[in-house]
Amino acid sequence: MAGTEIFGTEEIRAVTDVIERRMIHRYGSHHLRNGIYRVEEFENRAKKITGSRYALGVANGTAALIVALKGIGIQPGDEIITTPFSFIATVEAIVACNAVPVLGEIDGTLGLDADSVERLISGRTRAIMPVHMFGAAADMDRFTDLGKKYNLPVIEDACEVVGGTYKGRYLGSLGTCGTWSFDPNKTLTVGEGGIVLTDSEDVYFKMDCYHDHGHIHSKEHDRGAEGKSGLGVNYRLSEVQGALGIVALEKMLSALGMLRAAKKKILKAALDAGLKPRPVHDEEGDTASHVVFILPTAEKAKRFKAAANHAGGSFGIIADNTWHYAKHWKALEEMGEKDYFGNRTPSYSPASMAKSDAMLSCAVMAGLNTCMDDSAVEKMIEAVRAGAQAALQR
C-alpha cells in the first residue's frame, strides 16, 4: 500500500519548484516567497477535503499524536485510554507526554471496544484515543458519545486510514483532534510527515506554537521576531514535503477508488469460499489497504495462513504481529505496575490482553498494494481460495 506506487512526474516538478526557489523552510522569509507557502497550501487542501477548521502539518504521524496530546493539555500522570491493537507509536506518544496508557479491549471489528473504555474511565482519565486500524473505522458514534458524557477529549489516531470515512465524514475530523501519517508505507506519503486536524481554535493555537519552539506564527513579522508562547519542540514539516503532499493528496483519493474496487472482488471471492471478513462500522469508508478474515479458531487461522501463502499470498496472523500488538512490546510490559508521575501504571502483561489475544489469534490479514492490476487481484483471490479450502473444508 506504499504511496510511492503513484509517484510520477508531478511529484518531481513539485519538488523541483521548491528547490529552484530555494525556499525549504515553511516559515519566514516572507519578502522572498511571492506568497508561496507549500505546507500551508497542503494544510488548506486537507481542511477543504475533510471539512476541518484547522490543519497542522508536522514531521510525522508520531509527532502528530504528541502535538495533539499537548494541544488538549495532557499532563504527567494523566491517563489516556487506547487499544492494544495499534502501531506502537500510539503508546509511545502517550508515554512521550509522561502520561499513562490504559489499554481497553477490542471488539469483533478488532477496533477499540467502547464498552471496555467506559469501564476503564476514572478520575485520572483525560482522553480517549480510538485507533482506526488496517483501513477500517472505529465506532466513532460511541466514542463521541462517551466524550460528551464524561467531558473527555477524543483523539482519533487515523494514521493508518488516510482518506477513510465514517458515515460520510473523513476519519480524523470527527474527534477533538485527529491525526494522519504520511510515512513510506502509507497510501499518501511524503517520505515522513503527518497532519493534525481539529475544529478547536484554542487547541490549534497550542499545537501550532508547541510544534515550532513556542513561536506564535505571523506573516507580519519575520522568523525570530514573532512572539513566544511557552516552550516547544521542532516537529515542523518542510516545504518539500508540503509540495509532495499537495500532489499526493489528490492522487491518493483517486487511487482509493481503484483499491476499493479491487478489495470488493477479493471479498466476494472470500465470501463465496465461506470465509468471514472482519466486520466494519462503515464498509464504504474503508480505505481497502488490507484484507482481514476472522477464522473460527486459532488452529484454522494457522491452516489458512499456511495454505494461502503456499499459493502465493502474504498473510499473517494478527496476534503474531510484533509492530501492531501490545502483547509483544517488552518495553511497555516493563513499565507496568510502577509508580509514575503520581499515578500507578496498570499491568501490561500478555495475560492482561487475553480477550484481545483470543480474537487476534483467529484473525488473518494481508496488505494490498495501492495499484493492483487484474493479475494481482486474481493472484490474491487464488491464495484466499486455497486458504479457505485448507481451513474450512476439513
In angstroms, what CA-CA distances link 159 with 57, 165, 290, 295? 13, 13, 14, 27
pLDDT value for 225: 85
CA distances from 117 to 96, 104, 130, 148 (A): 22, 6, 10, 14
Report pLDDT for 394: 60
Cα–Cα dist 50/111, whole Å: 22
Instruction: Tell me what pLDDT residue 226 has.
Output: 86
User: Are the C-beta atoms of residues 171 and 50 closer than 8 Å to each other?
Assistant: no
According to the model, what pLDDT value does residue 221 have? Answer: 86
Q: Which of 204, 190, 239, 155 is nearest to 55 (CA)?
A: 204
Distance of alpha carbon 242 from alpha carbon 41, whole angstroms: 8
In tens, the pLDDT along 272-330 reads: 999 999 999 999 999 999 999 999 999 999 999 999 999 999 999 999 999 999 999 99
For residue 256 the three cell numbers come to 482509493
Distance CA 106, CA 325 (A): 11
Distances (CA, A) of 181 to 57, 220, 302: 10, 31, 31
How many other CB atoms sit within 10 Å of the CB of residue 4? Answer: 13
Three cell numbers written together for 201? 481554535
pTM of the model: 0.96
Give buried/exposed letters for 301-321 (b at 16+ CB in 10 A, else e). bbbbbebbbebebebbbbbeb
Task: Answer yes or no: are the C-beta atoms of 360 and 319 closer than 8 Å.
Answer: yes
Instruction: State the Cα torsion 367-368-370-373 to the nearest 10°.
Output: 160
Q: Give the C-alpha separation, 300 to 37, whole Å.
A: 54
pLDDT per residue as tens digits for the range 65-92: 999 999 999 999 999 999 999 999 999 9
Report the alpha-carbon angle 29-32-36, nearest 5. 90
Contact 62, 198 (CB under 8 A): no
**352-378 burial: b if 16+ Cβ within 10 Å, else e:** bbeebbebbbbbbbbbbebebeeeebe
Percent of the chain with pLDDT over 90: 89
SS3 sequence, the chain? CCHHHHCCHHHHHHHHHHHHHCCCCCCCCHHHCCCCCHHHHHHHHHHHHHCCCEEEEECCHHHHHHHHHHHCCCCCCCEEEECCECCCHHHHHHHHCCCEEEECCECCCCCECHHHHHHHCCCCEEEECCECCCCCCCCHHHHHHHHHHHCCCEEEECCCCCCCEECCEECCCCCCEEEEECCCCCCCCCCCCEEEEECCHHHHHHHHHHCECCECCCCCCCCCCCCECCCCCECCCCHHHHHHHHHHHHHHHHHHHHHHHHHHHHHHHHHHCCCCECCCCCHHHCCCCEEEEECCCHHHHHHHHHHHHHCCCCCEEHHHCCCCEHHHCHHHHHHCCCEECCEECCCCCHHHHHHHHHHHCCEEEEECCCCCCHHHHHHHHHHHHHHHHHHHCC
Q: Which of the residues in the chain have pLDDT under 50? A: none
CA distance 210 to 113: 32
